[in-house]
């Protein structure tokens, strides 16, 4: 016998999924919606997010909200505006799934281009940090919030040719550890 969650397990829960337009993010958003969550779909490609929103609604899920934001953005203002808008619209945030990320180049360190390196770090670390930071107050209003980060085995054990991605996932692991120490489960 295996665990089968109730269809309404996440009823009245607000969950944001980054990178929700495709891949793991899309599947996470669809799954949360199937179990009753109000899903906030965040990504940089509006038409992909709208497709996920439509899929959720056609399946009978709650109306999802599309939030367009490119985590490559290095200015804090768009993140702050997003948090302010959400604070005005929802009472709390039950979950934040930091899934968005860039792979970059699979090449030896000597061949990693600075532009690609910078973009991977901007999205995978800096954007994720800035989004998490501005959403912490909303998360802390929830009775039992969850903060989840997507990472990789190359973030725990470096592997040749994985360059910026591997280093960004090491940093993600570190960010998770720091936040776990700062906000222990009660």
Region of residue 79 (phi > 0: left; psi between -120 and 50: alpha; otherwise: beta): alpha
Mean pLDDT of the chain: 95
Tokens read off for 186: 């009660």
Q: What is the pLDDT of residues 133-177, one digit of tens each?
A: 999 999 999 999 999 999 999 889 999 999 999 999 999 999 999
Q: What is the pLDDT of residues 88-135, one digit of tens each?
A: 999 999 999 999 999 999 999 999 999 999 999 999 999 999 999 999
User: What is the rounded distance in angstroms from the CA atom of residue 134 to the CA atom of residue 130?
Assistant: 6
- Domains belonging to the chain, first-starting first, are 14-182 (3.40.50.720)
Catalytic annotation, residues? 165
pLDDT band at 6 (very low <50, low <70, confident <90, very high): confident
CA angle 98, 121, 21 (to 5 degrees): 40
pLDDT higher than threshold 90 for residue 58:
yes
Nearest to 74 by CA among 122, 3, 15, 129: 122
**Lowest mean pLDDT, pick from 6-10, 29-33, 76-80, 161-165:** 6-10
User: What is the rounded distance in angstroms from the CA atom of residue 23 to the CA atom of residue 78?
Assistant: 25
Q: Beta strand 38-43 with 14-18: parallel, antiparallel or unpaired?
A: parallel
Tokens read off for 81: 């505006």
Helix orientation angle between 114-121 and 163-182, rounded to the nearest 10 degrees? 20
């Amino acid at each position: 016998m295996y665990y089968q969650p109730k269809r309404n397990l996440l009823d009245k829960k607000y969950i944001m999924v980054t990178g929700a337009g495709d891949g793991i993010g899309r599947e996470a958003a669809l799954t949360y919606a199937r179990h009753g969550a109000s899903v906030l779909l965040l990504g940089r490609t509006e038409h992909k997010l709208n497709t996920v929103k439509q899929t959720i609604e056609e399946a009978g899920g709650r109306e999802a909200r599309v939030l367009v934001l490119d985590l490559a953005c290095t200015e804090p203002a768009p993140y702050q505006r997003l948090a302010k808008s959400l604070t005005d619209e929802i009472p709390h945030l039950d979950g934040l799934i930091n899934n968005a990320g860039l792979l970059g180049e699979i090449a030896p360190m000597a061949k990693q281009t600075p532009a690609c390196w910078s973009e991977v770090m901007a999205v995978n670390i800096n954007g994720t940090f800035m989004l998490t930071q501005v959403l912490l107050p909303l998360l802390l209003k929830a009775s039992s919030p969850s903060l989840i980060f997507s990472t990789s085995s190359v973030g725990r054990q470096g592997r040749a040719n994985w360059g910026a991605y591997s280093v960004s996932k090491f940093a993600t692991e570190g960010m998770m550890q720091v936040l776990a120490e700062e906000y222990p489960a009660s």
